[in-house]
Amino acid sequence: MVKEIERAGLPIVHMCTVTPISMTVGANRIVPTIAIPHPLGNPKLTMAEEKVLRRGLVEKALKALETEVEDQTIFE
């Protein structure tokens, strides 16, 4: 899926928990996330804390989009 969007000419960042799957589906920019049922959140935190966490991840994804890569890259 990620590959199709990349093929259409759009830079794409894949945010997902199981990064090896992201690698096999051919994503080039990968940002690892928290957990399967809540990739961009953590129900153990307060709403405010969660937003900080989520913002951090999204900013990392934007950074990835602004970064030139030559090969599949995981932005830890």
Partner 1 sequence: MIIVTNNPDVKEKYEGIRQIEFVEGGYKDVLIRVRDLIFEGHELLTHPLMGSVKPNETPYRSIAVSRHAGKMDNDNAIMIAECMQTFEKFAAMGRRDRGRNTPEWLLEDFRYIDLTLISSAVDYH
Partner 2 sequence: MIKIVHYINQFYAGIGGEEMAHVGPCKMDVIPPVSKAFTAAWKGEAEVVATIYCGDSYFAEQTDKALAEICELIKSVGGEMLICGPAFNAGRYGFACGNVAAAVKAQMGIPTLTGMYEENPGTDYKNKTIIVPTANSAAGMRKAVAAMAPLALKLAKGEELGPYYEEGYMYTGIRKNMFEEEIGAKRAVKMMLKKLAGEPFITEFPMPSFDRVAPNPAVKDISKATVALCTSGGIVPKGNPDHIESSSASHYGKYDIEGVMDLTEETYETAHGGYDPVYANQDADRVLPVDIMRDLEKEGKIGKLHRYFYTTVGNGTAVASAKKFAAEYSKELVADGVDAVIMTST
- The residues that touch partner 1, with contacts defined as CB under 8 A, are 17-21, 24, 35-36
Burial of 43 (0-12, 13-18, 19+ CB in 10 A): exposed
Closest distance between partner 2 and the C-beta of residue 7, in Å?
5
- Phi-psi bin for 26: left (phi > 0), alpha (psi -120 to 50), beta? left
- Let me know: does 54 contact 48? Beta carbons within 8 Å: no
Is 74 a binding residue for partner 2 by CB under 8 A? The answer is no
Binding partner of 20, given partner 2, partner 1, none, CB within 5-8 angstroms per partner class: partner 1
Is 60 a binding residue for partner 2 by CB under 8 A? The answer is no
Choose among 58, 76, 69, 74: nearest CA to 11: 69
Is 49 a binding residue for partner 2 by CB under 8 A? The answer is no
Q: State the residues that interact with partner 2 by CB under 8 A.
A: 1-18, 21-22, 24-29, 33, 36-41, 43, 47, 50-51, 54-55, 57-59, 61-62, 65-72
